[in-house]
Amino acid sequence: MTDVVAGFDVGATKTRLRAETPAGEAVVDLTWPSGDWRRYSYPVRAKRLADLLEEALGAGSTLVALAVGAHGCDSAEQCARFQEVLAPLVDVPCTVVNDAELIVPASGRPTGIGLIAGTGSIAVGRTSDGETLYAGGWGWFLGDDGGGAGLVREAARAVLRARDRGQDDDPLIGHLLQALQLPDTAGISTRLTTGTPEWWAGCAPVVFAAHRDGSAAARHVIESAGRELAELVRTLADRGASANRVVAAGGVIVHQPPLLAAFTAALGDLVPGCRVEVLTEPPVNGAVRLARSLATA
């Protein structure tokens, strides 16, 4: 039997599990769809992760510690409740944090603010006395500005405003209608209200395509999104989080340079001296590092 530590990164779209030996050798590295994760109760979430873990590890490995970074655990209280339900199922030392809390440890940095701009958006940091602080993560209906779903929501608003003004020449209009498979703007609201946040986020590349085609509306949407992400960081800094650096992750900000540039520029204004890094390691590595610290505590 081989002792292993394991970490889950449960995002809005994908769930990734990685398990390693004490020497750092990967034993398991698997990915599944997250499905309707946020709609599950804590017992259902815990049972799902425990079942995935048991099936993945099989009979040849002995779990000694587990860390979970979970989308939808947006407060210390929510993390504690989920951990309380999960711990008896795995019967080893375990911890549950928001998935954005994996970003800084995954980068190998000791301190900083983790920022995710993927399907949604959230920032997480810690004060000098170890208190975890959260900003954003409200979901696509109320927030998630700078995430994929938020970008599409704001792009739709920009297009509908242009329609009301009789302005139909901005490239964003054609790009968004093509993505939504609509003949005109009249059906935008109905089409979006029947889609999931993940589907919305899948349409986000059209905003950047329109930007490349010279869309003033798309440029405004992207610049506004970058500033909203920077506001999340300033909120945490104002509350005492260590803000010497931000480590950014998530498919939108990592793969769309205009958004990263807009965020970096806005952050320079709002939190002078805060450095921006883009995570180059999988966030699940942060979960493994947290699990390893539990195993050696």
What residue segments make up the domains of the chain, in order of their start?
A: 2-108+281-295, 148-278
Long-range contacts of 262-265 (CB under 8 A, 24+ apart): 262/222, 262/223, 262/225, 262/226, 262/227, 263/117, 263/146, 263/225, 263/226, 263/227, 263/229, 263/230, 264/226, 265/226
State the pLDDT at residue 102. 92
Long-range contacts of range 108-111, CB-CB < 8 Å, 24 or more positions apart? 108/281, 109/245, 109/247, 109/277, 111/242, 111/244, 111/245
Mean pLDDT for the stretch of residues 132-137: 87
DSSP helix/strand/coil, 247: strand
pTM: 0.84
Say what the pLDDT of residue 140 is: 66
pLDDT at 206: 93
**Can you give the pLDDT at residue 297?**
64
Given pLDDT bands bounded at 50, 70 and 90, which one contains residue 15? very high
Residue tagged 């450095």 (tokens): 275
Please say whether the beta carbons of 113 and 241 come within 8 A: yes
Q: What is the 3-state secondary structure (H, E, C) of 73-84?
A: CCCHHHHHHHHH
Residue 187: per-residue pLDDT: 83
Report, in angstroms and rounded to the nearest whole number, the Rg of the chain calculated over CA atoms. 20
Say yes or no: do domains 2-108+281-295 and 148-278 share a fold.
yes
* Residue positions counted in the chain: 297
* Tens-place pLDDT, residues 234-257: 999 999 998 889 999 988 999 999
Residue 273: is its pLDDT beyond 70? yes
Which superfamily does CATH assign the domain made up of 2-108+281-295 to? ATPase, nucleotide binding domain (3.30.420.40)
Q: What is the pLDDT of residues 196-238, one digit of tens each?
A: 777 888 889 999 999 999 999 999 999 999 999 999 999 999 9
pLDDT score at 266? 96
Q: What is the pLDDT of residue 143?
A: 65
pLDDT at 111: 84
The encoded tokens of residue 287 equal 């979960």
Tell which CATH architecture fits domain 148-278: 2-Layer Sandwich (3.30)
